[in-house]
Structure 1
């Protein structure tokens, strides 16, 4: 690697250096990155290494890494110069425990090299930055004391470095960066003095090492005080402090102390030793709780992250979410993000630990406290400006139903505004789907949905909750979805968005639209990365039966159909599906305690008991969006034997905006129509539907048919959503226009659903969830189906009457009548019986002339009523003068 004419005598390293290296060798195990760094170097050009910190240990590690990689030794003289060694350090450490970073050496070395190149223009030297990390990734078997001496940002002294080597030396990483031609750098710098050139190169090298260290062990936020001071000295915060002092007539010093107190309440106090210690503890904790934690598509997320400010936006289903995400990221060699946590988790003992693990705390509401709002916004801006990865849950709280909640875009808005203020580093939002097979909070969720008040978090409650360690919770999946770049969204919203940069108070009119679209896309991408586990599939099948029971043969067939459907019509390329076959899925469900087997001479029956069935609804809702298209097609045949293909698709497109808003589906109206076509074709191939009339007419078999039974199980997974929609429409129509406010309608719908659940078969807890009714009412307003008059009451036109009529194609007559009877309000204006014929006409095929009903067709209705007794499906009686099969609800 050196020029032959200038190669100095081969001077060996001092005897004591070689002796120390031999003594230290058993304690060191090196991992080079890249594995073959020699490929980075230019042949024939002298090599000079630069390391971040001076010290004997780093020199020994570098010398051994170079020897093992076949690189020139750093201990030999540098060819063509007067330097006795081919290495220099950016800083020196003094002291036994903690060191002081002195920066004279690099400028002296670089100045000396620059002068050597000036003396001989034909010479060049390639500078190779080498980063050395001792104890970056202790193994799961590493002791607690070893973790405390892992690599961090603190400049340690000789004794602490020795302890780190003895404890963690076998986990040492030596990272070689691409070489820099000193000749080329000198040419680019122009005619400047060697001393000035040396300062410039030293500054560039320091920035380089800081970036590498930040990527490997995270940003330097070990001292909370530095961030606190930066926030309190920011112009927006200083202005807010002055405004508070003026408004409340208090001294500026008192207002400043209040801001400081708020900042200390909010800010994380990130500690690398605590993070590494927590990783060590959690590895044992997860082993007690879970049978395995899987990450899917993480390699894609890691590849997309470099160069971006990464914001992780996972689904929120359990308190374990934060810990699982941080643990898995740290275990995979990625920087642990700073996590926005609710102030309710800032408990004694627990709060400080979470804070040192990267949690920063926010209150549920910022209303009435302008100073708090400004301080918090500035803190988020500081994190983004420093390149700190963040994590927050845009649902605002844990989902109690298993569905994704409507997003609350407060943190998203703060992130976007912080980026607009200083768009130095592009922002990338990384959606993550977190899937469980059993939840620690399952019973409390069911209680809250049933009306019990939410228990406030407390240290005593946490200690009581340790009993969860006695149970096993199956497997957990973290699926990384398609990332979302912020810049393209801004480009679409406004070509001039960069003009608002630098103004911390800028709120352009297009900002709210960007934040809303971003929030929706995050939820869509989370759902597009769903993991379908065995419990999800069991819940989809068993909860579609009123008694939550199925014959084993039927359950095996239904599980096989569900898996085949998800494989044949993939929702997205990031959805993952359990590899277990149907028999293994049933066995696993029994092992987990979700279902029990009832032996019977005619064939075993698998049952989910009432309490388990309520909890299983959570896991059905996790993946309900994956089967929404199939469920809609199947719903069309719950009460109809025949429908035209065009009617199924037309009605599907009408109802789609409401299903899309509830389940965060990814298609537009035309895309959903194409999915419906593909699903219908799948059902025809499987024999669940028969296509006649050149594909224009669809028909299912009679109720006693196995294919019809499978179709009904699929359809019933979504039927309660349509019942909720009908309750809302019926309440509006029954009370009339200009009668109810949106809040009154929401309350009336909730009460109706609660009563209907008590009077009929047991419904899932979310059936009377106010949030779902609120979302549907909001979607009606967005679609201009209803609107608010001057008095704040809801008004509507004939479009609502059309929706009520269309709903009758899907819902059974008994369900419709029960809803109309229970719903509070005036006389029923709809007269359901009067419109039944119109609803049937809409569902019937218009392009085929079916034969008249035969006695066998009429008899099939009565046979269907007796078949599948455990389904308890209501079947409408057949009048003697019944219409033809094509026109009759079945």
Structure 2
């Protein structure tokens, strides 16, 4: 360990009574240094002077011991080159024995002495090292609740309370060493500032530093809930809204004010450090009963980016446990838990007050028709941001029932951005977080809701009934922190004079909606860029791609290995995490978790997913569908075609990509997509799934009986339902004709068609007929000006839409297209969507001898396994070497 000593410092013996006190304190205090090796922060040969926030005998003992253990210069030794008998001083001192009163030291005291010691000695410097000492910041699960009451907070306590804190919580002591400040450099930057004024300025800077560190470690000083409530009610916008309400409803302002106060008390959090610490003790046991482990990835990057910012956590929303998991993990990692925006439905008896004291503030589902409530909530948000309180909310608006990220709702983002514009003192940083599960407590209720059951309203009785979930195990949970997003650069790009929009709470500049849309999309993209791929995700991608959700063990092992290799060789982003399990371990884990079943067979075991489990498992496939979207697109091109050109795959990919990007929040622009598409094709060629001919311009897959063709089909079928949904929408619109359907009518038509198609084909993916997905696709058609609304509110479209219908022949089988056209209600415009008669095979890929339709029996698989190789009736013909009509279109493509 590096040992840095004070240059030329005379050694001074520490008083015997100080040594004795240190020995008495030794069994009660366990120190954790942050950073663990603070010697790396210091410059060798330069005298070190420590500054602590609060004066106290115990803090001096702790600091001396921490420095001794770290090999740092002792704080109780004389400071070289000065008259100071100690190398430490405090910004404020504590008076009183019980509660204590803080009194600031005169800034021209120790700091003035340090400044005078450098006068006339330009080569001399002093390193000032701020040191923060926290006793009992995070009691562990073995700590008693009484210990929590004496944990670190914002109150300047007296000596007796400090003694109790040491006895009860001394084993959870954190000593935080900040980077040293060169006194010489600060003096040079201050110019000709007189020493007394310079000392006062430096004292203010140090106090601000300690305040910021304390806020990051134990949370902001919220004083009392009443203070926040009063500040909101005194704000000018709220007072104006109260007066307007009184005038509109012809009631007294006093009555309107009481109504506003009631609303404010309904909303406001009542954050309590002791309650947070108490709940953390309970949650430790709760998580141990539910989960086998909770992992955080890239948290160090998130923590390093946070200082100096108002941090807004924007995680994916998949379970009610999202709230608790993130706050608990942040607290246990030494970061203050955020204030969380929660729906008013969670303000239940008993539970609501606990959540409120844990930082939850409650909001109604809608603000419509209640101008007073809207103004109060906006003002409360502005107060939190102005005070530097970290926040958390879910921009999806609700929990995802399908496993995909939902289209963002901009309400909370708008309030956050407008609050910042009003008082842009502290920059805002949005921190996306991906939360990944291996099993969900709400899984069965999600499946029921998607199949048409009404959502069960939250209640205390329902919560008590739900305690039976504690009997099950839910595997591992991953919290992956994505790349943070700064608000200021987005505003700078939108408007050079955005700062002029600040001050007026009612301002809504024209560029604001564009910034909000860009911010919302970027958050969702960055959440997806931080996905965690667990064993259940990989099993779902493979097994759900077969009609009977079954696969021979050897085939499943090969498919899992292929998917892992794809994700490793072509990483989606540098924040993606992938399970370290090998394919055999993944299968064993899936059996252990109860997701898959092994069927013994003399010719080789078969793994399958039973009935309802397939619906539940689709949730976990959808979590990571975006990671294999490009590979699935390439594979889809060869579902019904043996041969295609690279240019064909890329051209059609460019057409379809904006719709996939909007649905799956993909990370690339068009150029990036093209690059990744080429890399994916090269990967398939290296793996032997495709063969490149003609200088790499033509691509060909093997016949359906080969393993490579089977693996391509499995990858393709993870995405094929998205293209079937797209075809339903455009076919329905073209079939009805222009100026016939409104946007809402088209959504309803598509949903009904998809529901019927799912019944006829026994699809296990409830999101196939999710109305929101059709709405998103239609909206993307509008954005690209392929579809627009006429003066009568009906949809008109460009001729490109009919081209898209015809291009679908390359991807979708003839039988699937005919099924969709038959089911879809419409007028007499079948000519635009009618299918041509059977077309002759392209000479470039002749049928192989002996590879006819009668060769369906795979020589290496039993008949049941062979059936799992087929998704569409047309596959048998394509596998036999027959070219479908899609290949006919290769030449003009």
Tell me the SS of whatever aligns to 1:311.
strand
Tell me the SS of whatever aligns to 1:102.
strand
Q: Does 1:850 pair with 2:844?
A: yes
Aligned to 2:664: 663
Deviation sequence 1:717-741 (CA, Å, 0-9, x none): 1111111111112221222222221
Shift of 1:32: 4.0
Aligned to 1:869: 867
Aligned to 1:730: 731
RMSD (Å), alpha carbons: 3.4
Deviation sequence 1:188-219 (CA, Å, 0-9, x none): 4967695x776555444432321221122221
Aligned to 1:544: 545
Tell me the SS of whatever aligns to 1:313.
strand
Deviates more, 1:464-473 or 1:216-225: 216-225
Tell me the SS of whatever aligns to 1:101.
strand
Deviates more, 1:693-702 or 1:513-522: 693-702
Shift of 1:863: 6.1
Aligned to 2:824: 823
Instruction: Give me the whole-angstrom Cα distance separating, in 2, the residues matched to 1:743 and 1:109.
Output: 74
Q: Does 1:569 pair with 2:570?
A: yes
Instruction: Give me the whole-angstrom Cα distance separating, in 1, the residues matched to 2:634 and 2:837.
Output: 20
Aligned to 1:394: 395
Q: CA 1:79 to 1:615, structure 2 compared with 1: closer, same or farther past 3 Å?
A: closer
Q: Does 1:147 pair with 2:145?
A: no
Q: CA 1:539 to 1:156, structure 2 compared with 1: closer, same or farther past 3 Å?
A: same
Aligned to 1:503: 504
Instruction: Give me the whole-angstrom Cα distance separating, in 2, the residues matched to 1:884 and 1:555.
Output: 27
Tell me the SS of whatever aligns to 2:810.
coil
Deviation sequence 1:71-121 (CA, Å, 0-9, x none): 676667889999876655444445554333234x44584598499879999
Instruction: Give me the whole-angstrom Cα distance separating, in 1, the residues matched to 2:422 and 2:791.
Output: 40
Q: CA 1:158 to 1:182, structure 2 compared with 1: closer, same or farther past 3 Å?
A: farther
Deviation sequence 1:577-612 (CA, Å, 0-9, x none): 111111111111000000111111111111100111
Q: CA 1:22 to 1:184, structure 2 compared with 1: closer, same or farther past 3 Å?
A: same
Aligned to 2:717: 716
Aligned to 2:236: 235
Q: Tell me if the contact between 1:106 and 1:202 (Cα under 8 Å) persists in the aligned partners.
A: no
Q: CA 1:868 to 1:357, structure 2 compared with 1: closer, same or farther past 3 Å?
A: same
Q: Tell me if the contact between 1:125 and 1:183 (Cα under 8 Å) persists in the aligned partners.
A: no
Q: CA 1:704 to 1:233, structure 2 compared with 1: closer, same or farther past 3 Å?
A: same
Q: CA 1:501 to 1:703, structure 2 compared with 1: closer, same or farther past 3 Å?
A: same
Shift of 1:141: 3.3
Aligned to 2:31: 30
Deviation sequence 1:520-549 (CA, Å, 0-9, x none): 111111111111111111111111111111
Instruction: Give me the whole-angstrom Cα distance separating, in 2, the residues matched to 1:674 and 1:179.
Output: 47
Residues 180-199 of structure 1 mapped to structure 2, 5 A cutoff: 181=183, 188=190
Q: Tell me if the contact between 2:340 and 2:361 (Cα under 8 Å) persists in the aligned partners.
A: yes
Deviates more, 1:522-531 or 1:208-217: 208-217
Q: Does 1:324 pair with 2:325?
A: yes
Aligned to 1:296: 297
Residues 621-770 of structure 1 mapped to structure 2, 5 A cutoff: 621-770=622-771
Shift of 1:260: 2.3
Q: CA 1:35 to 1:856, structure 2 compared with 1: closer, same or farther past 3 Å?
A: closer
Q: Tell me if the contact between 1:642 and 1:886 (Cα under 8 Å) persists in the aligned partners.
A: no
Tell me the SS of whatever aligns to 1:416.
helix
Q: CA 1:193 to 1:782, structure 2 compared with 1: closer, same or farther past 3 Å?
A: closer
Shift of 1:883: 12
Aligned to 2:272: 271
Deviates more, 1:849-858 or 1:410-419: 849-858
Q: Tell me if the contact between 2:633 and 2:716 (Cα under 8 Å) persists in the aligned partners.
A: yes
Residues 105-504 of structure 1 mapped to structure 2, 5 A cutoff: 105-106=105-106, 109-110=109-110, 113=113, 129-177=130-178, 178=180, 181=183, 188=190, 200=201, 202-504=203-505
Q: CA 1:126 to 1:401, structure 2 compared with 1: closer, same or farther past 3 Å?
A: closer
Deviates more, 1:225-234 or 1:389-398: 225-234
Q: Tell me if the contact between 2:421 and 2:501 (Cα under 8 Å) persists in the aligned partners.
A: yes
Aligned to 2:513: 512
Shift of 1:63: 4.3
Shift of 1:643: 2.3
Q: Tell me if the contact between 1:850 and 1:885 (Cα under 8 Å) persists in the aligned partners.
A: no
Tell me the SS of whatever aligns to 1:368.
coil
Q: CA 1:651 to 1:41, structure 2 compared with 1: closer, same or farther past 3 Å?
A: closer
What is the TM-score of this pair, normalised by structure 1?
0.91
Instruction: Give me the whole-angstrom Cα distance separating, in 1, the residues matched to 2:885 and 2:84.
Output: 97
Shift of 1:453: 0.7
Shift of 1:468: 0.8
Q: CA 1:793 to 1:333, structure 2 compared with 1: closer, same or farther past 3 Å?
A: same
Tell me the SS of whatever aligns to 1:232.
helix
Aligned to 1:794: 795
Instruction: Give me the whole-angstrom Cα distance separating, in 2, the residues matched to 1:466 and 1:273.
Output: 25
Instruction: Give me the whole-angstrom Cα distance separating, in 1, the residues matched to 2:86 and 2:17.
Output: 16
Instruction: Give me the whole-angstrom Cα distance separating, in 1, the residues matched to 2:777 and 2:111.
Output: 71
Instruction: Give me the whole-angstrom Cα distance separating, in 1, the residues matched to 2:34 and 2:316.
Output: 34
Shift of 1:50: 4.3
Deviates more, 1:125-134 or 1:594-603: 125-134
Aligned to 2:592: 591
Structure 2's unaligned 5+ residue stretches are: 889-893
Aligned residues: 876
Q: CA 1:734 to 1:220, structure 2 compared with 1: closer, same or farther past 3 Å?
A: same
Deviates more, 1:682-691 or 1:549-558: 682-691
Shift of 1:318: 0.7
Tell me the SS of whatever aligns to 2:140.
coil
Q: Tell me if the contact between 2:64 and 2:75 (Cα under 8 Å) persists in the aligned partners.
A: yes
Q: CA 1:120 to 1:250, structure 2 compared with 1: closer, same or farther past 3 Å?
A: farther
Q: Tell me if the contact between 1:534 and 1:589 (Cα under 8 Å) persists in the aligned partners.
A: yes
Deviates more, 1:514-523 or 1:561-570: 561-570
What is the TM-score of this pair, normalised by structure 2?
0.90
Instruction: Give me the whole-angstrom Cα distance separating, in 1, the residues matched to 2:80 and 2:694.
Output: 88
Deviates more, 1:198-207 or 1:422-431: 198-207
Q: Tell me if the contact between 2:115 and 2:195 (Cα under 8 Å) persists in the aligned partners.
A: no
Instruction: Give me the whole-angstrom Cα distance separating, in 2, the residues matched to 1:3 and 1:639.
Output: 79
Shift of 1:861: 7.2
Q: Does 1:527 pair with 2:502?
A: no
Q: Tell me if the contact between 1:820 and 1:828 (Cα under 8 Å) persists in the aligned partners.
A: no
Tell me the SS of whatever aligns to 1:868.
helix
